[in-house]
Amino acid sequence: MKNIIIFGAPGSGKGTYSDEIVARYNMGHISTGDVLRGEIKQGTQLGKIAKGYIDNGQLIPDELMIDILANTYDSMPEGKGVIFDGFPRTIPQAEALKQMLAQRGHDMGVMIELIVDEDTLMTRLLNRAKEQGRADDNEETIKKRFAVYHNQTAPLAEWFQTEGMRHTFTWEGSKELMLENIFKFLDTLK
């Protein structure tokens, strides 16, 4: 499978659909949020830096994030395609990803954009807070994450549009329908 960038607001389902895509197409998965939460759990220096940003709903600085992404990408098995979940989130990150992949002779592939209304997003994240207790899943931090998404990340959709990579899927109330539409599109790429 080609590389896939899965893009959307907090709670839009990037992680959930990534798991389904990975299972169907047997590809690699990089969730930058999961990488950072892993570092925090292990108490590394990077984790200590990341915690301050994550708990406050802010983005980790681009230079740091770009290094982490390149190192993680190089540790993945080659040739299967990777799904990037939560990266890129800014235009400098997108430019760096494009360059990093080009240096390795790889292609960015396609971008899948998930559009979900904000009330649904908030409900999902508050439900997840009860089940998983993620430090940034509280109403105050979720609102900050939504604002960061709108101001810093959402404008990137236009960048992908210009690259001819943007494929948008809008939530219509059914996870099965969402998945069916995403798979129908990805099946055409194999």
Note whether 154 and 94 are within 8 A (CB).
Answer: no
Catalytic residue (one of 51, 98, 134, 144): 134
Confirm or reject binding of residue 15 to Mg ion (CB under 5 A).
yes
Task: Please tell me whether residue 81 binds ligand AP5 under the rule CB under 6 A.
Answer: no
Vertex 57 angle, CA 53 and 59, to 5°: 55
Catalytic choice (14, 37, 124, 166): 14
109 is a contact residue toward ligand AP5 (CB under 6 A): no
Active site residue 24: no
Minimum distance of ligand AP5 from residue 158's CB (angstroms)? 18
Active site residue 104: no
Is residue 166 part of the annotated active site? The answer reads no
CA angle 176, 190, 168 (to 5 degrees): 45
Exposed, middle or buried: residue 16 (CB in 10 Å: 0-12, 13-18, 19+)? Answer: middle
d(CA 158, CA 164): 10
The yes or no reply on residue 166 touching ligand AP5 (CB under 6 A) is no
Side chain identity, residue 113:
E
Q: In the complex with ligand AP5, which residue's Cβ is closer, 1 or 182?
A: 182
Q: Which does 28 bind (CB under 5 to 8 A by kind): Mg ion, ligand AP5, none?
A: none
